[in-house]
């Protein structure tokens, strides 16, 4: 007799038959019928038509029957709300039953019936059950509050259930405590700021006591709750750690991982020289290793978390490399994760072992895994310098296997190795060239072409090799086409005599026969460069490349910190902050690691740029490109035409741009016998600017293009590891050239302290003002924008009745009060006035953005003048962005909206610069140092709520700073940059 019999009745009158059975007098028959109903329900059949009949069976002493009816009710009450009311009475009665099991069951089931009308009746029984003498009922009731909250949050608050729930945290029974914590945590999730779980040392103590005695699941809830607490000092931190450590030996892996989270977080507060700190580190390793012997699904989650942990604290698992070795029957998702961690743990000490393993993996069957293994060898070479040679020879061995995808993958990684160790392993090029024909994947082809172009001078038949690729130029993917173009130009610069034809061929292929804008633009640029100044072309195209950084895929430190706080959660599996994927409006609080005691630990190395590149493809949408373009064109293109012959060119682009603009085509016929000038199309003058904005193709040589284009970092993003430094390039004068007059604003001596304010300049000369001279400046003092003016009477008569008005302007500046000139201004007298300004006036976009048109009236006449204010005075005091928010925003803003500027001749250290900028409300959020270059990440907020994010790069010993600005309103970038310059130089 099994339950499967319930499935066998598939006759037509099934429902009818069941109905009859349900209404039978015989208990046994009834029960059988209910079982049949349940069975149909489980397989998804609709048996809701039987609702009244099933509910009729509810009033019974038979517990099993009761439970079955409850099961049914929970499923169908929603669809039959009116009928469900029929059940209420039984529920209320059951809540008074002497048997705690029945009381609990009733309150539990009632909470599961998601019908508004029922919830009203639920309140009273629930209140009683929350205070029930039996802890089993109390703990069930605690969960019920969470259920009710999910259905009707307001009701729960009005009825004061939340407070009762908070009281339960102090309950004598650990199970009740655990459930109360679980319920509160769930409720708190939908009320991020409700402060429901108000943790203080007393409650923490209670939780820790309950932790030892409650069930494994309760322990998880409590540990997760503990992880949200921030201890007051390192001693408290240590005592919590001590009480949590025994959980590491729990059989339930979720308990273990939650305990690891608490420890990882609180460890931050412990001084590193403490003995206990070392003990704790040692204790963390074994449980993590043990997780890897569990079922594969558990392993996967554990590995994703270990990946975070080894990035934060590599010392914990540095001796445990072997447990990450891949077994051939591991599921693929486990294999790939293990591989990742192996590379993270690779060091000089264990590299030999790791390499031997990786080589072994490269002969496995699974193609994805093999590819990743080959890549891993390349990453090892880049990470552990001492092993590079070994890695290269391993890769060569693999190439000898002639397995197609292994060879291709190997070539891709060898290219990276060349980038990291230039002029070291070029001897292998010959071997690589042998495999030219077998390459059919674009990435591998592009890599090979890059290698040929880069080392053209050492490859005798480089021209032949490249020419062979050229034959099918139009069938290649963009990646390969671009690479081929660059490689041939390189080749030409290195061996100009033999390869003229080739370069001409590729240039015409790229510019005339291709409809890909990126390819065409790059083609034009090379063409211009080559035709105008080959020396400059050489400098640009063959520029020294910065080495690629070793850790290309580390998680950005602020994100890592946040993820460490989320160990064991979905966030840790996805390596994304919860805010990035948690559903809907539930605001998620960003968690941070507590500051560590007594450590000046420098932040680990990764860079934001690469993090963005590694995680997801950057969003390719360009907002309002038209506007932006218009702006830039306005700003840039006019001045050079009037400034006459440009100074001797240092940057190829500048010269190229000049030519295009001036239309001086005759100068294109340079000293060499060069390709003929390009037929100028109507749109060509724009092309350098267009390139600035356009989403860039993936490229292997960011420097070259970076050099060309003044470093749009999108160019770099396509490449695995674009060190932002790649973009440091002789920046295009054309962009800033036209604004010289604006820079004048920034000249002169400024205030030593506080917000920068430019010196006063004459706005209204006496000539135009009928004797009234106005000079003035703007300042931000204590959060108030002030227009400070000196009014001088150079006329012969007394001036009175001063008034001031502004025209509509970009940021809605308006006088906050009348112009206070109380006494009449007698001849030859000056008066200082400070006019507070508000930013709530009418708005109209001005050109330039910071232009302000002012009308001043006195007893003689009305005078008009315009002046430009430094945008820095609009920087508000609360412009400091949260690190995570910053990071997210930075990634979120498309690279095209990034503008880069150079500040020449600024002799400040990065710290001094940071201080100075802070005075003007430009806040430094993070700083890191890469290769002697300090990167300051800064944010500032304008009075109208526009955020501007900046990356300021300061190279020690180099007086030229580079500022990269990202803003959702790219128009302001120029003005912000001026402020940067002005502030830094004063």
Partner 1 sequence: MIHSLFLINASGDIFLEKHWKSVVSRSVCDYFFEAQERATEPENVPPVIPTPHHYLISVLRHRIYFVAVIQSEVPPLFVIEFLHRVVDTFQDYFGVCTEAAIKDNVVVVYELLEEMLDNGFPLATESNILKELIKPPTILRTMVNTITGSTNVGEQLPTGQLSVVPWRRTGVKYTNNEAYFDVVEEIDAIIDKSGSTITAEIQGVIDACVKLTGMPDLTLSFMNPRLLDDVSFHPCVRFKRWEAERILSFIPPDGNFRLLSYHVSSQNLVAIPVYVKHNITFREGSSQGRFDLTLGPKQTMGKAVESVLVSSQLPRGVLNANLNPSQGTYTFDPVTKLLTWDVGKINPQKLPSLKGTMNLQAGASKPDENPTINIQFKIQQMAISGLKVNRLDMYGEKYKPFKGIKYMTKAGKFQVRT
- Residue 89 C-beta: closest distance to partner 1, Å: 22
3-class secondary structure per residue, 551-570: CCCCCCHHHHHHHHCCCCCH
- Residue 28 C-beta: closest distance to partner 1, Å: 5
User: Do the beta carbons of residue 606 and residue 724 sit within 8 Å?
Assistant: no
> DSSP character for 711?
-
Site for partner 1 in 7-26 (CB under 8 A): 7
Site for partner 1 in 577-596 (CB under 8 A): 578, 581-583, 586
Among 131, 235, 272, 322, binds partner 1 (CB under 8 A): 322
Among 48, 173, 431, 684, binds partner 1 (CB under 8 A): 173
Q: ∠528-730-744 over CA atoms, to 5°?
A: 115
Q: Which stretch binds partner 1 (CB under 8 A): 125-133, 256-264, 448-456, 774-782?
A: 256-264
Among 22, 58, 68, 188, binds partner 1 (CB under 8 A): 68
Would you say 563 or 925 has its CB closer to partner 1? 563
Site for partner 1 in 87-116 (CB under 8 A): 99-101, 108, 111-112, 114
User: Do the beta carbons of residue 362 and residue 398 sit within 8 Å?
Assistant: yes
- The mark string for 268-307 relative to partner 1 (x by CB under 8 A, - otherwise) is ------------------xx-xx--x-xxxx-xxx-----
User: Do the beta carbons of residue 299 and residue 292 sit within 8 Å?
Assistant: yes
Distance CA 337, CA 291 (A): 14
- Residue 389 C-beta: closest distance to partner 1, Å: 22
SS3 label, residue 120 = helix
User: Do the beta carbons of residue 893 and residue 887 sit within 8 Å?
Assistant: no
Pick the closest to residue 837 from 823, 818, 821 (CA basis). Answer: 818
Site for partner 1 in 539-578 (CB under 8 A): 568-571, 573-574, 578
Residues in the chain: 986
Name the phi and psi angles at 531, rounded to 5: -80, -25
Cβ-proximal residues to 45 (8 Å cutoff; 6+ apart), any chain: none
SS3 label, residue 692 = helix
Would you say 83 or 573 has its CB closer to partner 1? 573
Would you say 101 or 669 has its CB closer to partner 1? 101
Distance CA 299, CA 284 (A): 16
Would you say 289 or 930 has its CB closer to partner 1? 289
Q: Which two tokens mark 583? A: 């559903």
Site for partner 1 in 326-365 (CB under 8 A): 327-329, 331-333, 353, 356-357, 360, 363-365
Would you say 28 or 544 has its CB closer to partner 1? 28
Q: ∠643-644-647 over CA atoms, to 5°?
A: 90
- Residue 232 C-beta: closest distance to partner 1, Å: 26
Among 63, 641, 840, 862, binds partner 1 (CB under 8 A): 63
Neighbours of 315 (CB within 10 A): 12
Pick the closest to residue 782 from 913, 912, 919 (CA basis). Answer: 919
If residue 863 lies in a helix (H) or strand (E), which one and from where to where? strand 862-868
* # binding residues, partner 1 (CB under 8 A): 107
User: Do the beta carbons of residue 198 and residue 188 sit within 8 Å?
Assistant: no
Site for partner 1 in 121-150 (CB under 8 A): 134-136, 140, 143-144, 146-147, 150
Distance CA 359, CA 374 (A): 8
Would you say 571 or 856 has its CB closer to partner 1? 571
Would you say 29 or 794 has its CB closer to partner 1? 29
- Residue 814 C-beta: closest distance to partner 1, Å: 47
81 in contact with partner 1 (CB under 8 A): no
Q: Which stretch binds partner 1 (CB under 8 A): 210-218, 449-457, 611-619, 947-955?
A: 210-218
**In the β-sheet with 803-806, what is the strand arrangement from edge to edge?**
803-806, 851-857, 862-868
Q: Which two tokens mark 386? A: 């001492």
- Residue 566 C-beta: closest distance to partner 1, Å: 8
Would you say 75 or 152 has its CB closer to partner 1? 75
β 961-967/898-903 pair status: antiparallel
Among 1, 767, 782, 796, binds partner 1 (CB under 8 A): 1
Q: ∠461-463-467 over CA atoms, to 5°?
A: 120
> DSSP character for 99?
S
SS3 label, residue 438 = helix
Site for partner 1 in 741-780 (CB under 8 A): none
Q: At what angle do helices 351-361 and 332-345 cross, to 10 degrees?
A: 150
Would you say 180 or 873 has its CB closer to partner 1? 180
Distance of CA 662 to the CA centre of its chain: 43
Among 189, 236, 426, 892, binds partner 1 (CB under 8 A): 189
194 in contact with partner 1 (CB under 8 A): no
Among 65, 270, 555, 975, binds partner 1 (CB under 8 A): 65
Would you say 129 or 146 has its CB closer to partner 1? 146
Would you say 93 or 845 has its CB closer to partner 1? 93
Among 14, 157, 186, 426, binds partner 1 (CB under 8 A): 186
Pick the closest to residue 280 from 294, 300, 266 (CA basis). Answer: 266
User: Do the beta carbons of residue 75 and residue 105 sit within 8 Å?
Assistant: no
Among 9, 20, 42, 271, binds partner 1 (CB under 8 A): 42
Among 90, 179, 687, 924, binds partner 1 (CB under 8 A): 179
Would you say 144 or 653 has its CB closer to partner 1? 144
Neighbours of 235 (CB within 10 A): 11
Distance CA 145, CA 234 (A): 36
Would you say 48 or 851 has its CB closer to partner 1? 48
* Cα Rg of the chain, angstroms: 36
Would you say 144 or 384 has its CB closer to partner 1? 144
Would you say 150 or 236 has its CB closer to partner 1? 150
- Residue 136 C-beta: closest distance to partner 1, Å: 6
Site for partner 1 in 393-452 (CB under 8 A): 401, 403
Q: Which stretch binds partner 1 (CB under 8 A): 315-323, 461-469, 498-506, 696-704?
A: 315-323
State yes or no: cis peptide before 415, omega within 30 of 0: no
- Residue 980 C-beta: closest distance to partner 1, Å: 40
Among 319, 424, 681, 845, binds partner 1 (CB under 8 A): 319
Would you say 301 or 446 has its CB closer to partner 1? 301
- Residue 107 C-beta: closest distance to partner 1, Å: 10
- Residue 333 C-beta: closest distance to partner 1, Å: 5
- Residue 331 C-beta: closest distance to partner 1, Å: 5
Among 16, 27, 46, 617, binds partner 1 (CB under 8 A): 27
Question: How does DSSP assign 805-848, residue by residue?
Answer: EE--BTT--EESS-----S-B-TT-EEEEEEEEES-S-B---SS
Site for partner 1 in 214-253 (CB under 8 A): 215-217, 220, 224, 246, 249-253
- Residue 91 C-beta: closest distance to partner 1, Å: 16
38 in contact with partner 1 (CB under 8 A): yes
> DSSP character for 860?
S
Distance CA 148, CA 93 (A): 19
Would you say 62 or 500 has its CB closer to partner 1? 62
Would you say 302 or 493 has its CB closer to partner 1? 302
Output the CA–CA distances (angstroms, integers) from residue 501 to 457, 492, 493, 494, in the order listed: 17, 9, 13, 14
């Amino acid at each position: 007799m099994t339950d499967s019999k319930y499935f066998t009745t598939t006759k037509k009158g099934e429902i009818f038959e069941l109905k009859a059975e349900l209404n039978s007098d015989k208990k046994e028959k009834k029960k059988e019928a209910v079982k049949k109903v349940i069975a149909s329900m489980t397989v998804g059949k609709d048996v809701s038509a039987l609702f009244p009949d099933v509910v009729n069976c509810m009033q019974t002493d038979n517990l099993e029957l009761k439970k079955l009816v409850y099961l049914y009710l929970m499923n169908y009450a929603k669809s039959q709300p009116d009928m469900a009311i029929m059940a209420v009475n039984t529920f209320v009665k059951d809540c008074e039953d002497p048997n705690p099991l029945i009381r609990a069951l009733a309150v539990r089931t009632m909470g599961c019936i998601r019908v508004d009308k029922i919830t009203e009746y639920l309140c009273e029984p629930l209140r009683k059950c929350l205070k029930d003498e039996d802890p089993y009922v109390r703990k069930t009731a605690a969960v019920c509050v969470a259920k009710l909250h999910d259905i009707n949050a307001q009701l729960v608050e009005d009825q004061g259930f939340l407070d009762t729930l908070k009281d339960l945290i102090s309950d004598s029974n650990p199970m009740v405590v655990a459930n109360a914590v679980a319920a509160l945590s769930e409720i708190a999730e939908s009320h991020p700021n409700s402060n429901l779980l108000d943790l203080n040392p007393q409650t923490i103590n209670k939780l820790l006591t309950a932790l030892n005695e409650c069930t494994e699941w309760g322990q998880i809830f409590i540990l997760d709750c503990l992880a949200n607490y921030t201890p007051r000092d390192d001693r408290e931190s240590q005592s919590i750690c001590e009480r949590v450590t025994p959980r590491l030996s729990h059989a339930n892996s979720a308990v273990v991982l939650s305990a690891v989270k608490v420890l990882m977080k609180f460890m931050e507060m412990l001084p590193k020289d403490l003995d206990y700190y070392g003990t704790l580190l040692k204790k963390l390793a074994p449980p993590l290793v043990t997780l890897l012997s569990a079922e594969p699904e558990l392993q996967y989650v554990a590995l994703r978390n270990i990946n975070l942990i080894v990035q934060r604290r590599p010392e914990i698992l540095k001796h445990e490399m072997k447990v990450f070795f891949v077994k051939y029957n591991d599921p693929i998702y486990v294999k790939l994760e293990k591989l990742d961690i192996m590379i993270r743990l690779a060091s000089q000490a264990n590299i030999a072992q790791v390499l031997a393993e990786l080589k072994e993996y490269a002969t496995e069957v699974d193609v994805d895994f093999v590819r990743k293994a080959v890549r891993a060898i390349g990453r090892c070479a880049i990470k552990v310098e001492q092993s590079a040679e070994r890695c290269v020879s391993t890769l060569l061995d693999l190439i000898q296997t002639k397995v197609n995808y292994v060879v291709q993958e190997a070539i891709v990684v060898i290219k990276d190795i060349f980038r990291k160790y230039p002029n070291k392993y070029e001897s292998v090029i010959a071997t690589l060239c042998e495999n030219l024909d077998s390459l059919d994947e674009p990435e591998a082809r592009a890599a090979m072409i890059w290698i040929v172009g880069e080392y053209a001078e050492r490859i005798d038949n480089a021209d032949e090799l490249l020419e062979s690729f050229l034959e099918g130029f139009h069938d290649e993917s963009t990646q390969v086409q671009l690479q081929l173009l660059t490689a041939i130009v390189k080749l030409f610069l290195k061996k100009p005599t033999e390869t003229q034809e080739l370069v001409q061929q590729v240039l015409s292929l790229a510019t005339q026969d291709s409809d890909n804008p990126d390819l065409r633009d790059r083609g034009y640029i090379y063409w211009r460069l080559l035709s105008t100044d080959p020396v400059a072309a050489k400098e640009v195209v063959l520029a020294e490349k910065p080495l690629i950084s070793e850790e290309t895929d580390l998680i950005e430190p602020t994100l890592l910190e946040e993820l460490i706080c989320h160990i064991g959660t979905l966030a840790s599996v996805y390596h994304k902050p919860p805010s990035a994927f948690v559903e809907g409006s539930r605001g998620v609080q960003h968690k941070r690691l507590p500051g560590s005691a007594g450590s000046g630990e420098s932040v680990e190395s990764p860079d934001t740029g690469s993090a963005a590149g590694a995680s997801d493809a950057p969003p390719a949408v360009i907002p309002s490109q038209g506007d932006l373009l218009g702006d830039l064109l306005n700003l840039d293109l006019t001045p050079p035409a009037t400034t006459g012959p440009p100074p001797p060119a240092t940057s190829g682009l500048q010269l190229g741009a000049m030519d295009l603009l001036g239309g001086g085509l005759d100068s294109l016929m340079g000293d060499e016998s060069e390709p003929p000038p390009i037929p100028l199309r109507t749109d060509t003058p724009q092309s350098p600017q267009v390139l600035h904005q356009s989403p860039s193709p993936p490229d292997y040589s960011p420097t070259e293009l970076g050099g060309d284009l003044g470093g749009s970092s999108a160019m770099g993003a396509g490449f695995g590891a674009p060190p932002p430094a790649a973009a440091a390039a002789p920046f295009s004068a054309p962009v800033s050239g036209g604004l010289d007059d604006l820079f004048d604003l920034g000249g002169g001596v400024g205030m030593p302290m506080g917000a920068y304010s430019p010196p006063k300049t004459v706005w209204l000369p006496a000539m135009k003002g009928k004797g009234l001279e106005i000079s003035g400046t703007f300042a931000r003092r204590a959060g108030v924008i002030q227009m400070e003016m000196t009014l001088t009477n150079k006329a012969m008569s007394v001036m009175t009745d001063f008034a001031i008005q502004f025209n509509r302007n970009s940021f809605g500046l308006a006088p906050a009060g009348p112009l206070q000139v109380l006494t009449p201004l007698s001849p030859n007298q000056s008066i200082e006035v400070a006019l507070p300004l508000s930013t709530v006036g009418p708005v109209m976009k001005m050109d330039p953005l910071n232009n302000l048109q002012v009308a001043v009236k006195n007893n003689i006449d009305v005078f008009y003048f315009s002046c430009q204010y430094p945008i820095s005075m609009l920087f508000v005091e609360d412009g400091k962005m949260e690190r995570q928010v910053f990071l997210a925003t930075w990634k979120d803003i498309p690279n095209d909206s990034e503008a880069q500027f150079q500040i020449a001749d600024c002799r400040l250290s990065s710290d001094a610069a940071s201080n100075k900028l802070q005075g003007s409300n430009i806040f430094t959020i993070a700083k890191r140092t890469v290769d002697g270059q300090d990167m300051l990440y800064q944010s500032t907020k304008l009075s109208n709520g526009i955020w501007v994010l900046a990356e300021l790069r300061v190279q020690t010993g180099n007086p030229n700073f580079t500022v990269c600005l990202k803003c959702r309103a790219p128009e302001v970038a120029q003005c912000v940059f001026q402020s940067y310059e002005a502030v830094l130089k004063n």
